[in-house]
Chain A
């Protein structure tokens, strides 16, 4: 199992550009999440999904969009990049059901907007 895979690892964007952060998991987890982590801070939840076709906002959703067309993939889209979106983005997944699992995280995408 590869676990949770995020691409790209690093990206530099100019203000106003758009991009999609990719996240895929091979553990058949039903729940997936996107967090952001600013320097020296904890993680803040951006969006989450409880299954294919279902997404919901977290604590800091403004400026982002997500989709969940398959169980495996949960891409995060930035439409008009702003310097405030400079951060490290972590995707995570978990199984919630009869046998819950802990959160499994990817290794992050480091995004700089200039």
Chain B
């Protein structure tokens, strides 16, 4: 059973901000929101995670709503190399935990030149 819902695909113009939404209405109080991405044929790559507060790192920003039922990953200045499948995942550990993380189909983000 899917814990998250993401649009299957999105387009974004190069140089613009890419905003990827994710719904996780059944998230538990101790579950984090994680984002990974998978560039064609490679292993998934960690981007960012958060519990309640908004987070920012060198790759992206994560905005989590106050009720924690949805979040948005923001890539501030998308480049062609950001074309990838982006996975939004909820889980209890800060990366893997006792039973890993469940990866759904994600959002295929296509950056247009």
Contacts and interface: CB of A to CB of B under 8 A. Distances in A.
Nearest to A106: B43
A69 interface: no
B44 A101 contact: no
Interface string A81-114: 0000000001011111000111111111000000
A40 interface: yes
Interface in B35-53: 36, 41-46, 49
Q: Chain A interface residue count: which class?
A: 20 to 34
B46 A104 contact: yes
A35 B96 CA distance: 12
B42 A35 contact: no
A96 B46 contact: no
Given A4-B43, A107-B43, A41 B105 contact: yes
Given A4-B43, A101-B95, A108-B41, A58 B104 contact: no
Contacts of B105: 40-42
Interface in A1-33: 4, 31, 33
A87 to B, nearest CB: 13
Interface string A39-58: 01111010010100000101
A50 B97 CA distance: 8
Nearest to A37: B103
Given A43-B44, A90-B44, A108-B41, A103 B106 contact: no
Interface in B49-107: 49, 87, 93-106
A58 B98 CA distance: 10
Contacts of A105: 43-45
A48 B95 contact: no
B44 A33 contact: no
B10 to A, nearest CB: 17
Given A43-B103, A48-B100, A96-B95, 9 more contacts: A41-B105, A45-B102, A92-B43, A94-B95, A96-B93, A96-B96, A100-B94, A102-B46, A108-B42
